[in-house]
Structure 1
Amino acid sequence: MATAYERYNLHTTTEKFFIEACDEGVDAVLVIDRVSNEMTLTGKMDIPPSAVTRPICGIMGTLRLVAGMYLIVITRKRNVGSLLGHAVWKAVDFDVISYKKTVLHLSEIQSQENKTFLSMINNVLNTDGFYFCTDFDLTHTLQRLANTSPDFHEMSLLERADQRFVWNGNLLRELAAQPELHKFALPVVHGFIVMKPCRINGKIFEWILISRRSCFRAGVRYYVRGIDSEGHAANFVETEQIVLYEGAKTSFVQTRGSMPFYWSQRPNLKYKPKPIISKTINHMDGFQRHFDSQLLIYGKQTILNLVNQKGSEKPLEQAFANLVSGMNNGMLNYFMVNSEGRTLAQQRGVFRSNCMDCLDRTNVIQSLLARRSLQSQLQRMGVLNVGQRIDEHAEFEKIYKNAWADNANACAVQYAGTGALKTDFTRTGKRTRWGLLMDGWNSMIRYYKNNFSDGFRQDSIDLFLGNFVVDESDGPTPLRVQKDWKFLTLPIIMLVAFSMCIICLLMAGDTWTETLAYVMFWGAASVITATIILLNGQDFVDAPKLVHKEKMD
């Protein structure tokens, strides 16, 4: 089977990067010319003795910013566990290295823009949840891998990877263009992986949970909703639960994703902005495109609609129900191979869940469905005795619940900026006071981030994934868009007016009527400016600058 190199040294000179593969018996060095950007393959004898050497864990790829090209490398990794004998790693630290030796060729404005772009790249890299494997394909489920041809297994990891889940696909374009360099390319997934050795009835088995976050229509909670023209759904995540026992392997796959039609929910300073369903686009075209691809990949779809049937969510629920009516339901089944390698069961459909954000409610339901499947799988494998239930085994029950709660938190941080809500139910099976308190705290943090920092996060993701490409010319970038005068003026007026109102109350005038008049004047000024701000809420939130709004609606 084709693999990528496992260990590397980065040798740096003023003119070139030499990335040496340090695997035993390998004499391969990737040379990147820092002036021409050319990539070539050579041997270890060509590494200059004067080069500055450091170990690295892998190459994320390359990216052009205002200052020129940058090399992004993984500098620290942590072992997550072993999947069918293959080590799975979590990328922990990264380094973004400029090809250019200085930025003196940039104007002051360009230099500032380059710093902003660099901070965007680091913002994505610092979002927890990047995983890779040098000799196993993490982008595919066990069933997809089992149903492939021998030729598929001879392809490089980069060629055979499911592009939906390769988060550094854009960064690896230069390496992808040269097949002889593919062993230096590590496809990296984003999401969550946990691998636990477990014991039930004295029988030891491996329990694994993998969530793969799609890089198509990726983004943050309020700026990316619904689907795009290709039928890709926002916040699409494929979650696979795997059990390995005495040579047998079994997996159960579920998906989650935004309601697959054209709708948006722009932040506007309100706690819950009103969702808006597009009236100008044919929803059925995109809806059909989405489910055509889902049926092709996963088989029959059992759609779980967790959207409220009242309040602001009701129109979305009705629109989804109308579009989904007439579609066939799937069935609950799973993929299983015995210790001899014979396939005993195929999963012929998936549960496809969604709520408003595909986070909190969705994760609770997915963990319950996965439990039902796991109960059947463990009984069929002989780990559970007939009549036994998973929840009777406290040690495994704790591992299971905590892993699914951790999965919820990982997916929520990546999309909404905070940990998930309702994880107390996932961990304990009931709502707790502490859980309600934490939900309130996370909701407050979500409100702040969604309104005042998610534009930057959305820009970061769009830059990282190649939805926005920095032009090679010296022209201005969209970062130079100036804020409207209201953005600074009105909040200052409101703050001054409110402060004066408090001062007038604390420092009473000569007469009661004089004090009342001052309080009413400054109070009215506070209320009027606050009302104007709320009525024009979208002008005061942190909106994305790199990708036009029209493309994201």
Structure 2
Amino acid sequence: MKPLHQRLHLYTEGDDTYIFVPVDDGIDTQSLTIHRSSGEIVLNRPNTPLPTYARRSPRTIYGIVGLISLSLSEYVILVTGRELRGRLMGHDIYRATDFDILPLNPNVSVHSPHHPVEGHLLALVRSHLRGGHFLFGYSWDVTRRLQAQWETQELAAHKSLWEMADDRFFWNRFLQSRLIDATVGNAKQDLGKYILPIVYGTFDLRAAFVHGRHMQLCLISRRSRFRAGTRYFRRGIDREGNVANFNETEQLLLVEGPTTPGAQRTSDDLFATKLSFVQVRGSVPLYWAEVNTLRYKPDLQIMDLQDTADVMKKHLEELVSIYGEQALVSLVNQKGHEQPVKDAYERYIAEINLPNVRYEYFDFHNECRKMRWDRISVLIDILKDDLERQGYFQLDAGQAIPTKIQKGTVRTNCMDNLDRTNVVQAALAKWTLNKQLRDLGIIPPGAGVDDYEALSKDFREMWADHADAIANAYGGSGALKSDFTRTNKRTRKGLLEDGLKSVMRYLKNNYFDGARQDAFDLVTGAWIPRKSPAASLFLITDVRPLITRSVPVVASFSLFMICAGLTLPRSSDYSLFYYFMLWFTLLTISLVFILIHGIDYVSWPRLIPLIDVIYYSGPGFRSAHHGKGLNGNKDKMAIAKRARWLAGPRRSKVGVEELELGDIKKRVD
């Protein structure tokens, strides 16, 4: 595989060009020029001299994330800080820690753009870069599992990293499209050494010693860029078969060959055996959503559309083509709020009846009630035949072909694919690690990871950190039930921590995730800005009715007056009775109004509004119609007015879209 440039110096020639020059990269170095006026990208000939008046930036560039076009200018996004996360089989893996954004338009300032729309879009990009967990390597394909890399090793030998990257996990694929197009469309220049694939995920690598054998245990998760977003604003499946919160998790075990006592390791990659075990998770592959209404439990919406079975089939067939047979483990509750999702999932699975796909339901909360977390062993026993048959990938040094191939994966989901899913995936990973160590003869039959305290502690911490990272990215807080993953015990302290995390999720999901979802849609290319900020004024204006905007002000002022009244002098016990009655009445009326019209106070995404979900009235299931006013979903005129402020003008990759709202059709451009 062709390695990438690891360090670049940036030179600017007035307002004309950005020039990127590789550092310490041989005598035939080819610099890269981006012309600011035209946006043209040119790979210079080897050893092209710098312009006379070029000025070097003091910051070192560790990679080009890509280019993004906003309403006033295109911008180059650069990695200016990195953290070494580990050295995997002789390859350094980094996390991007700092970024810089450079405008192509010389009249635009990144720090103080002269139009508020541009400032808002830039703030979305910055928040996404700051809030994400981005990983990359210059000589190792972080986007692909070990087995996939072995299967294509001959093809990859003469390819650039971006050409072999897994398109699902190539997070900045949209941002790199300008550099890729300049390469693909021009046979005279190959920008492959400048195109850096980045993964949104986790990476943890730890050394271990068991019975004198040196090993490394590595855990990598990769988040799909398709249908990416936040917990309540990206659920279920889309028409291309992509599901929300899809993650591939790979556990690597690298085992060094037997050595003589006191021998020193002379290479970064002396591992005699490399083993890989892959699992996947993803949202229930139905058209469904949970509609925020400011209540703790959102309204559950399941949409039975004509193509539901087709897109579910497409999704599962893709998994089979990539990973092999699928064991679908559903942890959704069979009672209460979640039951309709479970029932619909099972109904469609039975309808499509795919070969190489087996569905298994596990009633997690019932089986593990009263903190009986050891009951997860029941699920392991059920899946034992699947795990044995699917196996894991094993590559031994000196062997032309792998000793073992993983022939399938377990696809786990709960409602959010976070907390219950994390616990089950960690249990499956531990079962497989135990089997791998026994198969290699490192531990005796009957022994397990938990018998070796140092290895067990590292394993638990890795999976708990992995769970927290995925939960933060999707749900807005660390994972629940992580105390069990970290300690093998469920504790009352863990229950209290879960309560705090649940409150944090509620606040973020209702009041902050709209902007976070917009950032996902902007950076992944799901929404593309127009070249006129005036067309996107809906992003920075509140077009809700005046009464809707004023009620929170009335509630806040009433609360202030009540607090102020507590400090006023009293001539008798009844002197302030009418004063408090007035402000308590106003506060109560305001809070009741906000609760009844809850959806008007949720921080909804603005780039791709969800009115087709919020006001869906076709076949399916709806648990309730909270937050839509006193008439709920019956007042078509009220729906039309509310939809008008929810759905500002937008431009997306799919262009013009017709949104069915019962008898109402709203054309959104």
Coarse TM-score class (shorter-chain normalised):
over 0.9
2:434 to 371, 375, 385: 375
Instruction: Report the Cα offset of residue 339 of structure 1.
Output: 2.1
1:393 alignment counterpart: 452
Q: Is the 8 A contact 1:128 1:410 kept in 2?
A: no
Secondary structure in structure 1 of the residue aligned to 2:535:
coil
Secondary structure in structure 1 of the residue aligned to 2:126:
helix
2:39 alignment counterpart: 37
Q: Which amino acid aligns with 2:37?
A: V
Partners in 2 of 1:273 and 1:423 — Cα distance? 24
Q: Is the 8 A contact 2:116 2:540 kept in 1?
A: no
1:230 alignment counterpart: 240
Instruction: Report the Cα offset of residue 286 of structure 1.
Output: 1.8
2:223 alignment counterpart: 213
2:289 alignment counterpart: 264
Instruction: Report the Cα offset of residue 210 of structure 1.
Output: 0.4
1:90 alignment counterpart: 95
Q: Is the 8 A contact 2:293 2:299 kept in 1?
A: no
Instruction: Report the Cα offset of residue 513 of structure 1.
Output: 6.5
1:314-393 matches, cutoff 5 A: 314-325=339-350, 326-327=353-354, 328-329=357-358, 331-332=386-387, 333-341=391-399, 342-393=401-452
1:495 alignment counterpart: 556
Q: Is the 8 A contact 1:508 1:515 kept in 2?
A: no
Q: Which amino acid aligns with 1:101?
A: P
Q: Is the 8 A contact 1:103 1:111 kept in 2?
A: no
Partners in 2 of 1:348 and 1:551 — Cα distance? 39
Instruction: Report the Cα offset of residue 474 of structure 1.
Output: 5.3
Change (3 A) 1:517 1:239: same
Partners in 2 of 1:486 and 1:383 — Cα distance? 70
Partners in 1 of 2:446 and 2:109 — Cα distance? 73
1:125-274 matches, cutoff 5 A: 125-148=129-152, 150-179=154-183, 180-246=190-256, 247-274=272-299
Change (3 A) 1:115 1:376: same
Partners in 1 of 2:73 and 2:33 — Cα distance? 18
Change (3 A) 1:494 1:281: farther
Q: Is the 8 A contact 1:304 1:353 kept in 2?
A: yes
Partners in 1 of 2:280 and 2:494 — Cα distance? 26
Secondary structure in structure 2 of the residue aligned to 1:344:
coil
1:65 to 70, 76, 79: 70
Secondary structure in structure 1 of the residue aligned to 2:105:
coil
Q: Is the 8 A contact 1:505 1:515 kept in 2?
A: no
2:373 alignment counterpart: none
Partners in 1 of 2:47 and 2:153 — Cα distance? 35
Instruction: Report the Cα offset of residue 507 of structure 1.
Output: 5.1
2:5 alignment counterpart: 5
2:125 alignment counterpart: 121
The answer to whether 1:48 aligns with 2:51 is yes
Change (3 A) 1:508 1:272: farther
Q: Is the 8 A contact 1:252 1:373 kept in 2?
A: yes
Which one is further off, 16-25 or 538-547? 16-25
1:441 alignment counterpart: 500
Instruction: Report the Cα offset of residue 80 of structure 1.
Output: 1.5
Instruction: Report the Cα offset of residue 319 of structure 1.
Output: 1.2
Q: Which amino acid aligns with 1:418?
A: S
Partners in 1 of 2:481 and 2:439 — Cα distance? 32
Change (3 A) 1:505 1:30: closer
What does the per-residue CA deviation read over 1:456-483, in whole Å, with 9 as the maximum and x for residues that have no partner? 0011111111111122245421414533
Change (3 A) 1:427 1:149: closer
Instruction: Report the Cα offset of residue 434 of structure 1.
Output: 2.9
Partners in 1 of 2:245 and 2:321 — Cα distance? 20
Instruction: Report the Cα offset of residue 497 of structure 1.
Output: 3.1
Partners in 1 of 2:48 and 2:116 — Cα distance? 40
2:368 alignment counterpart: none
What does the per-residue CA deviation read over 1:304-353, in whole Å, with 9 as the maximum and x for residues that have no partner? 11111122111111111222234532821211122223312111111111
Partners in 2 of 1:417 and 1:486 — Cα distance? 31
Which one is further off, 67-76 or 434-443? 434-443
What does the per-residue CA deviation read over 1:438-471, in whole Å, with 9 as the maximum and x for residues that have no partner? 2222222211111111110011111111111122
The sequence identity of aligned pairs, in percent, is: 36
Instruction: Report the Cα offset of residue 6 of structure 1.
Output: 2.0
Change (3 A) 1:344 1:104: closer
Instruction: Report the Cα offset of residue 187 of structure 1.
Output: 0.4
1:302 to 319, 327, 334: 327
Instruction: Report the Cα offset of residue 500 of structure 1.
Output: 4.0
Partners in 1 of 2:459 and 2:295 — Cα distance? 37
Normalized against structure 2, the TM-score is what?
A: 0.78
Partners in 1 of 2:431 and 2:504 — Cα distance? 34
Partners in 2 of 1:44 and 1:486 — Cα distance? 66
Change (3 A) 1:475 1:525: closer
Instruction: Report the Cα offset of residue 104 of structure 1.
Output: 8.1
The answer to whether 1:291 aligns with 2:316 is yes
The answer to whether 1:453 aligns with 2:512 is yes
Q: Which amino acid aligns with 2:20?
A: I
What does the per-residue CA deviation read over 1:121-157, in whole Å, with 9 as the maximum and x for residues that have no partner? 1111112411111112111111112222622442211
What does the per-residue CA deviation read over 1:349-391, in whole Å, with 9 as the maximum and x for residues that have no partner? 1111111111111111100000000111112223223332110
Change (3 A) 1:486 1:157: farther
Q: Is the 8 A contact 2:279 2:409 kept in 1?
A: yes
Q: Which amino acid aligns with 2:294?
A: L
Partners in 2 of 1:50 and 1:286 — Cα distance? 57
Change (3 A) 1:149 1:389: closer
Q: Is the 8 A contact 1:218 1:234 kept in 2?
A: yes
Change (3 A) 1:527 1:371: same
What is the RMSD computed on CA atoms of the aligned residues? 2.3
What does the per-residue CA deviation read over 1:98-139, in whole Å, with 9 as the maximum and x for residues that have no partner? 12233389xx99621111111111111112411111112111
Q: Is the 8 A contact 1:262 1:281 kept in 2?
A: no
Stretches of structure 1 lacking an aligned partner (at least 5 in a row): none
Q: Which amino acid aligns with 2:395?
A: V
What does the per-residue CA deviation read over 1:196-232, in whole Å, with 9 as the maximum and x for residues that have no partner? 1111112111111000000000001111100111110
Q: Is the 8 A contact 1:223 1:552 kept in 2?
A: no
Stretches of structure 2 lacking an aligned partner (at least 5 in a row): 184-189, 257-271, 359-384, 615-669
Q: Which amino acid aligns with 1:217?
A: R
Q: How many pairs were matched up?
A: 552
Which one is further off, 43-52 or 58-67? 43-52
Change (3 A) 1:200 1:264: same
1:272-283 matches, cutoff 5 A: 272-283=297-308
Instruction: Report the Cα offset of residue 517 of structure 1.
Output: 4.7
Secondary structure in structure 2 of the residue aligned to 1:363:
helix
Partners in 2 of 1:110 and 1:210 — Cα distance? 42
Normalized against structure 1, the TM-score is what?
A: 0.94
Partners in 2 of 1:426 and 1:258 — Cα distance? 22
Secondary structure in structure 2 of the residue aligned to 1:164:
coil
Partners in 2 of 1:189 and 1:30 — Cα distance? 24
Which one is further off, 161-170 or 78-87? 78-87
Secondary structure in structure 2 of the residue aligned to 1:177:
helix
The answer to whether 1:313 aligns with 2:338 is yes
What does the per-residue CA deviation read over 1:229-286, in whole Å, with 9 as the maximum and x for residues that have no partner? 1110000000000111132111110001111100111222111212211144542122
Instruction: Report the Cα offset of residue 518 of structure 1.
Output: 4.5
